[in-house]
Structures are given as C-alpha cells and as structure tokens.
Chain A
Amino acid sequence: MMAWGAPIYLYLWLAGMAGGAYFAAFLAERFAGIVDRRLLRLATYLGIPLAVIGVMLLVADLGSPLRFWHLFTQFKVISPMSMGTWILFVWVAVAVIMVILWWIQSRLAGEVARSLRQITESLSWINVVLAVLLISYTGVLLAVSNQPLWASTALLPALFVASATSTGVAILIITALIANAISSGGLIELKLAINQLFGSTDWTIPNRIIGRLAEADVIVILVESVVLIGYAIWLGASGMAGAGEALGLLTAGALAVPFWIGVVLVALLIPLALEIANWGKEIERKAVWGAIMASSVCVVLGGLVLRAVITIGGQL
C-alpha cells in the first residue's frame, strides 16, 4: 500500500514552484539592478497561495489531520519533515508580512515609506535563503528514507531544485503574460482590482524581462536535463539493493509512459525546442507569445509529472 499519494506529489510540486518563483524573481531583479520589485511582488503574491494550498493538501493527507499542530511542538534538525514544517511556516509568514508592508508603503510617502521599504528589503533576503531551503527540502524529504529510488543517490534534491526553479520561472512567465494581456485588454474591473492589490497601476512586467526569463529557463532546463541523466546513471551504478530495479521502473517499467512523455518530452525537450526556436524574438509577435506561453505551460505540467513519477515510483 502506498503511504504517500497524490496530495504529497501535488504538494511537492506546488511548494517547489512557490519557492522557485520567489528565488528566480529575487535573483533576476538583483542581478539586473531593478529596484521596483515588481517581479518579486508578483512571485510573492503567487507563492503564498501556492504554498498554502500545498500545505492544506498535506494536512488533509495526514492520518490524523486535527493533530497537525503536533508538528509545531517540535524542532528536530535531523528530521527533514520537521525542518520543512518550520521552513514553510516561516517563509509564508515572512511573505505575508512583506505583502502587508508593500501595501502600506504604496499608500504612504516620505520617511516612513523609506524605512518600511528597508524592512521589506531585509525580509526579502531572509525569504530568499528560506526559498533555497524550501526547494531543497522537497527533495531532501524523499531522499532521507529507505526507498531505493529516492535514497540511493545524492541527486534527487538537485533534480527537484532544478525543476522547482524551472517551474517557478515558468509560472512567473505565465502570470506575467496574462497580467500584461489584462492590462492591455478591456477588463476594467479586473485591472482596478489588480491596481488595488499592487497599490499602483505599475504592475505589468516589461516584455524584454519576460523574454530574458524564458531564455534563462532554457539554461535551467539544460541543467535539469544534465542532473536527470546524472541521477539515472548514479541509480544504475548504485550498489544499494533495488536501485537498478527502480531505474528500470522509470525507463522501461510501469512508469515508462509518464516518464518518457511527461518528464523527458513535456518537461524538458518540448520547452527546450520551443524556447530555442524563439530565442531573442519579440514577444509582441503572436506566434512568439504563443510559443513561450505553451512552453511555460509544458514546464509547469511536466514538473508535476516528475514529482508524481518519483513519488509513486519510490513506493512500488
């Protein structure tokens, strides 16, 4: 009987995407020297609901959901689940505080707004560290076990981190494309609602930044592909009993179809082909817009299949 099913892999996927989007948005803005934090705010607004939905699934999947608070009575460094509980809790709490501070800032001016801004900036640093730990933890949780598919290599956390970053970037692209479409479209009420949320009318993401994100995702997907190949080789060569069989399950066994189609094709090869074909092209063109949207949707869905295949495969 499988102890961990759909709620768990959905959770691993959602939490990874939340952390990955925040991590990518934070780094992109820092590296580019963008100071308006539009991308980071988008990632935070996205990340909170994604993480909260994930946690709700996780709690519902417990044998005794009403006892979930027992998790918060312990702080146990050697238990990845205990660490994950705290990482996720603090990340969401800090993210909520950041959102509140952003709201207040957008309605104030002068000295107070500046000092609030400094606090938010410091908090954003705390949360990028937690985001790294969060996306790592989704892999560590499975890897610290006695299931050969999860535990016989040291590359599962690396694979999940690469996938979390890739799906995080993809969900940023999808949301930014939709937001820009709303901004230029006729849905006045929706526009006003988003204005309220961001405290200003400046919430669209410039197309050239979306383009850069799409290009960055190409390299992240290449990294992910290399890690996946390394993971497979390591599994095959591992001395741990059952590791070879576990690899066979993915490549030629019960999970071969979702693995080759869902992971290799949808998560990696199709997005790579689409993004490389449209590298450097203008998103204003409908075909390019469609290709980048399609590729990002593939990345997000493929990321879910990856979590599902690994979670189920480890328990067969």
Chain B
Amino acid sequence: MPKARLIDTSKCIACRACQVACKQWNELSAEHTTQRGTYENPPELSGNTWIKVEFRERPGEWLFRAHTCMHCTDASCEKVCPTRSISHQGEVVIIDQKRCIGCGYCIQSCPFHVPGKDEITGTARKCDFCIDRITDGYKPACASTCPTGAIQFGERADLIAAAHRRVQTLVAEYGYPNARVYGEDEMGGLHTVYILTDQPSVFGLPEAPQLAISNAVAQWVSGVITAGVLAALPLWLLFRRRKQIEAEQESRVEGGTR
C-alpha cells in the first residue's frame, strides 16, 4: 500500500521545525539569504532546501503551508529527464545523483517548482521522502519532528480518509467554507496531500496542475507545420518565380534567334 505525507495547513504554526529537521537529517547546507521583510526564509526551495514553510498574511489571519516535493504519480520531472535520472521507487520520486547531469529540465517542468540545482554537486536535488528512513519503517524527518501534527506520514488511503473528515470539521465548526483536500487526484495522485483552509491559489498551488509533456505532440506539430508550410512558402514563391521567369526569358531568346 502506498504511503503518503499529509500536511494540514490548519494546524501549521510556522515553527519551521520541519525545515530544520530536513536540513539536519539530509545534511543540507545553509543558504545565504537577506532580509526581505518577511519571516519566511529562505525565499524558495533549492538544491539545499527541500522543505520550507510559506507565509501568507491577510487581514486577521496568517496562512502557513509547508512546501515540498509532491511525489506525483505522473511526475513531469521524471517524464522530461533526458538521462532517465529521475524514477519512481514505489511512491517516492528520486533523482539519481550519480546519473543527473544538471541540465535543469526538471526544474522548468515541475508544476510546483520543487527541484533546484545545487552548484556544488552540479545536480538537481529535492526531497527524497527520507527514503533511507521510510524503508526502515521510520517517518520522514519533517513528519517525525512536527510538534502540532500538521505533517503526518502513513498509509495514503487512511490519510485521505482522515483528511476528508478533518475538512468536514473545518467547514462545519471552524468557519472555513472553502476548506478542501488537495492532491487526491492531481497529477494522477500526489503523495504529499494537503488539507487547505482555502482555495489552492490562495496557498500558491495551481488549481489544475498539468503534466509538462501533455502538450508535446501539439508543440512538435506546431513547429513542423510552420517550417513545412509557412516558412517554406516564401522561398517557393520567390525561387519558383525565378525559375519560371528564366524559362520564359530563355524561350523568348530562342524565339528571337529563330
């Protein structure tokens, strides 16, 4: 049975213990950052920051969401990777650090902007679900350390059922009419599932994330048709005409000499 991580935004207090635990367990170095007028730090996920709490404020309310790899069932990064360095190991999407050439295509293709290039290793890196821990029956570092139960780890089906129950409570008792579960079906089913207290866009998540290669055939056709028709036509018009004109001139010359 596939495992999953459930992140409940209604329980997150932005203590960022998950960020610290992730850095510690995975031996990720610190980032050089500057004061940007926010408690949110660092500014984005990178090759050395695999989970981070995003801060959003609106009148009377803070919205916190821990952002990390979704471990998509249909993973864009895996599909576009030209060296097949990205693969699924069970539910975990893993970048093979011995194979990755650091081309950056996964970075451009992820609908959630998760992978980052590490300048020191020269590879793309991201959350690996603490695969060394979970294969031994432990939870990922982020879930183990979370003090409020906002990050849970377990059987995906159980967590989704629990998430729906929690959403019902949030809607009925806590006054979050837009509360919902995110990730049940997106990208074929995410393995980081969210309980959101509002619409996905409010939390910086795409309402309808797309598989990067879903439009690939149309894009190839667009290029080839343009070349074959629109770009070839001008050359045909001008050089075809030249041939005809010369043929006419030649026949005229021949007619004249006769």
Which residues of A come within 8 Å of B, CB atoms?
1, 3-4, 20, 23-24, 27-29, 31-33, 62-65, 67-68, 70-71, 73-74, 76, 78-82, 85, 132-133, 135-137, 139-140, 142-147, 150-151, 154-158, 160-162, 165, 208, 212-213, 215-220, 223, 227, 240-241, 314-315
Contacts and interface: CB of A to CB of B under 8 A. Distances in A.
A74 B105 CA distance: 15
A interface: dominant SS:
helix
B123 A63 contact: yes
Instruction: Please classify how large the interface on chain B is, using the bins under 10, 10 to 19, 20 to 34, 35 or more.
Output: 35 or more
Interface stretch (B62-70, B106-114, B127-135, B250-258): B106-114
A63 B102 contact: yes
Given A63-B100, A63-B104, A146-B212, A223 B230 contact: yes
B9 interface: no
A1 to B, nearest CB: 7
Contacts of A68: 101
B111 to A, nearest CB: 5
30 contacts: A3-B108, A27-B236, A27-B239, A28-B239, A32-B242, A62-B103, A63-B100, A63-B104, A63-B119, A63-B122, A70-B101, A71-B83, A73-B83, A74-B84, A76-B84, A78-B79, A78-B216, A79-B79, A79-B105, A81-B105, A82-B82, A135-B227, A137-B223, A139-B219, A143-B222, A144-B219, A162-B226, A213-B238, A219-B238, A223-B233
A76 B103 CA distance: 15
B101 A67 contact: yes
B10 interface: no
Contacts of A151: 210, 212, 215
Nearest to B247: A33
Given A71-B101, A133-B224, A212-B242, A24 B219 contact: no
A240 B210 CA distance: 9
B234 A220 contact: yes
Nearest to B234: A219
A187 to B, nearest CB: 30
Interface string B61-88: 0000000000000001001111111000
Contacts of A213: 238
B125 to A, nearest CB: 10
B240 interface: yes
A143 B239 contact: no
B243 interface: yes
Interface of B: 44, 46, 76, 79-85, 99-105, 107-111, 116-119, 121-124, 201, 206-207, 209-210, 212-213, 215-216, 218-228, 230-240, 242-243
Nearest to B120: A63
A160 B232 CA distance: 14
Contacts of B104: 3-4, 63
B84 A146 contact: no
A215 B90 CA distance: 59
A82 B122 CA distance: 19
Nearest to B118: A63
Given A67-B101, A241-B207, A3 B83 contact: no
A63 B103 contact: yes
A255 B36 CA distance: 23
A135 B223 contact: yes
Nearest to A84: B82
Nearest to A23: B227
Contacts of A64: 100-102, 122-123
A73 B82 CA distance: 9
B212 A157 contact: no
Contacts of A240: 210
Given A144-B216, A161-B231, 10 more contacts: A20-B231, A31-B236, A63-B118, A132-B227, A135-B227, A154-B221, A216-B234, A216-B239, A223-B233, A315-B108
Given A27-B239, A70-B83, A4 B108 contact: yes
Nearest to A64: B122
B227 A63 contact: no
Contacts of A132: 223-224, 227-228
